[in-house]
């Protein structure tokens, strides 16, 4: 799959993993996110290695990220989306969603899912809705060691 590289308002959106910075991703996720606080680097690295990733770079520094957990055929789960605070309010999250959700292979998916505590407004702009039949979906928590429960 050919990497995506898009320049937008002085930022580079890229799926080229050789340009992305797992250490910076880990730092933000483990220190600043509500969903992955204290997650060890090796888990972030493994998730990075086994996902389709998009990063946002400014002057070569990673300031944003998002990834799809996917089979590349029928299902995607959108995870770990962030833009650093200093770069928010510039439409970067919207641009990232526009790029990710309009990839040719994503447009063939049956379903793209995500979980969010506070970004419903962003995702609703891209057609996400609450589950129509939440009683059909189940979860098994195996290890919640690294994620706060609040």
User: What's the CATH number where 79 sits?
Assistant: 3.40.630.30
Share of the chain above pLDDT 70, in %: 96
Give all strands (DSSP E) within 9-149, no chain letters.
Answer: 11-14, 52-58, 61-70, 75-83, 111-113
In a domain, 145, yes or no: no
- B/e letters for 55-72, b = 16+ CB within 10 Å, e = fewer, are bbbbeeebbbbbbbebee
In a domain, 149, yes or no: no
Domain count along the chain: 1
In a domain, 142, yes or no: no
24-48: pLDDT as tens digits: 999 999 999 999 999 999 999 999 9
In a domain, 40, yes or no: yes
In a domain, 147, yes or no: no
Enclosing domain of residue 76: 5-136
In a domain, 150, yes or no: no
In a domain, 63, yes or no: yes
73-119: pLDDT as tens digits: 999 999 999 999 999 999 999 999 999 999 999 999 999 999 999 99
**Residue 145 in this model has a pLDDT that exceeds 90:** no
Instruction: Please tell me the distance from the alpha carbon of residue 129 to that of residue 42, in angstroms, as a whole number.
Output: 33
């Amino acid at each position: 799959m050919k990497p995506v590289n898009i320049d937008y308002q002085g930022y580079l959106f890229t799926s080229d993993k050789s340009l992305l910075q797992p250490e910076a991703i880990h730092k933000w996720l483990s220190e600043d996110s509500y969903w992955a606080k204290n997650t060890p680097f090796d888990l972030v690295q493994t998730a990075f290695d086994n996902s389709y990733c998009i990063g946002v770079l400014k002057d070569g520094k990673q300031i944003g990220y998002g990834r799809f957990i996917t089979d590349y055929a029928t299902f995607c789960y959108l995870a770990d989306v962030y833009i650093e605070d200093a770069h928010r309010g510039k439409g970067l999250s919207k641009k990232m969603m526009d790029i990710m959700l309009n990839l040719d292979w994503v447009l063939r998916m049956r379903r793209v899912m995500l979980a969010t505590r506070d970004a419903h407004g962003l995702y609703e702009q891209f057609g996400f809705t609450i589950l129509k039949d939440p009683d059909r979906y189940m979860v098994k928590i195996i290890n919640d060691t690294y994620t706060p429960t609040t």
